[in-house]
């Protein structure tokens, strides 16, 4: 197949940051996606309707002229998040509706210092969410135990599943218990594309440093097997997470893979490799919006099978470089992407 046309994708997991970084990276997601669930772990975190409204206004101001991209706002499950804000957000008070609440376990990833150590401490908020029907989005890892000791980072997801959910491994749990409209999961392009061999190929690859960490080849193959099945409760969530060059190429490398400039292309490449292009549209464009109460986009995008390379960083207005994953030099080395969005 030389090309494929699908409904415009929906990103169920997107970080845009704030300020100059937001203004630099937002156009890349807006070009590829019609809507996105915006993550609230900014600094400071999004905990009120007013903060969400301000954040949404900033995103809309960064869109290219004529863009129809719609940011869908969320709350961060912090100790300051009140049940009353859940009600206000569900009603869309002030014109800003809240579509979900995101839980980041304390110490798990970027800006997770405001998260709960044990999500069950948030009983009053969780109860109100259940009453109004607001989804809970889980970052399914645990890295600090009750004694503040660091667990093995490669076991973070397994510890979470063992201690918080009644199953052994995340993929197995989802395949057995996933249900459209109730319990769903998202998959990133980088966890489908890479495994631990790539992360350490020729030295540690900073652009692949993320949470959850990329795991073994067998884990990647399990993910590929899951998306190949076309399950209605599995959808795309890029987890695109930009960081300035100074934070990525440092001794304390920041967690987060910036994939917005290449995410849809990477998904398409993987689905082509596993012989599942017929499942791509549902995964990218149908399952995600349906969970959040939207019909799939009426707009389309076309991808063509054509080799190309990521050769440039994204540069903010103040000259800060943000390096995309799969970059020709800073990625794995002379990496080739096999599908490209048609500009016609």
- By annotation, the residues acting in catalysis are 239
The span from the CA of 98 to the CA of 28, in Å, is 23
For residue 289, whether the previous peptide bond is cis, meaning omega lies within 30 degrees of 0, is no
DSSP string, 243-309: --HHHHSSTTPPS-B--TTTHHHHHHHHHHHTT-HHHHHIIIIIHHHHHTT-PPPS-EEEEEEEEE-
End-to-end CA distance of the chain: 18
Q: What backbone torsions phi and psi does residue 198 show, to the nearest 5 degrees?
A: -70, -40
Residue 153 burial (CB count, 10 A)? 13
The span from the CA of 265 to the CA of 293, in Å, is 26
Identify the helix (H) or strand (E) that includes residue 193. Answer: helix 189-193
Give yes or no for a contact between 226 and 234, defined as CB atoms under 8 angstroms apart: yes
Residue 303 burial (CB count, 10 A)? 22
């Amino acid at each position: 197949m030389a090309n494929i046309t699908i409904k415009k994708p929906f990103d169920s997991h997107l970080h845009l940051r704030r300020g100059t970084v937001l203004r630099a990276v937002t156009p890349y997601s807006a070009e590829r996606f019609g809507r996105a669930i915006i993550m609230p772990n900014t600094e400071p975190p999004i905990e009120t309707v007013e903060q969400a409204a301000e954040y949404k206004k900033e995103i809309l101001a960064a869109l290219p002229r004529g863009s129809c991209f719609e940011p869908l706002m969320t709350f961060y499950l912090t100790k300051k998040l009140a049940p009353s804000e859940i009600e206000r957000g569900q009603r869309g008070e002030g014109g800003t509706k809240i579509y979900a609440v995101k839980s980041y376990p304390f110490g798990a990833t970027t800006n997770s210092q405001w998260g709960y150590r044990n999500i069950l401490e948030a009983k009053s908020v969780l109860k109100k969410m259940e009453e109004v029907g607001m989804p809970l989005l889980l970052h399914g890892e645990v890295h600090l135990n009750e004694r503040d000791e660091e667990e093995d980072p490669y076991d973070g997801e397994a510890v979470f599943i063992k201690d918080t959910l009644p199953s052994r491994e995340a993929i197995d749990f989802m395949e057995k218990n996933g249900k459209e409209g109730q319990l769903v999961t998202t998959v990133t392009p980088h966890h489908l594309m890479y495994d631990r061999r790539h992360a350490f190929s020729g030295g540690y690859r900073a652009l692949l440093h993320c949470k959850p960490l990329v795991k073994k080849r067998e884990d990647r193959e399990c993910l590929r097997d899951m998306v190949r099945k076309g399950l209605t409760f599995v959808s795309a969530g890029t987890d695109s997470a930009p960081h300035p060059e100074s934070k990525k190429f440092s001794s304390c490398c920041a967690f987060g893979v910036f994939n917005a400039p290449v995410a849809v292309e990477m998904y398409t490449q993987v689905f082509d490799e596993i012989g599942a292009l017929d499942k791509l549209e549902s995964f990218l464009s149908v399952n995600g919006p349906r969970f959040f109460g939207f019909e799939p986009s009426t707009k389309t995008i076309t991808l063509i099978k054509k080799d190309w390379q990521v050769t440039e960083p994204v540069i903010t207005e103040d000259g800060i470089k943000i390096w995309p994953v799969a970059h020709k030099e800073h990625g794995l080395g002379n990496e080739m992407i096999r599908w490209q969005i048609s500009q016609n």
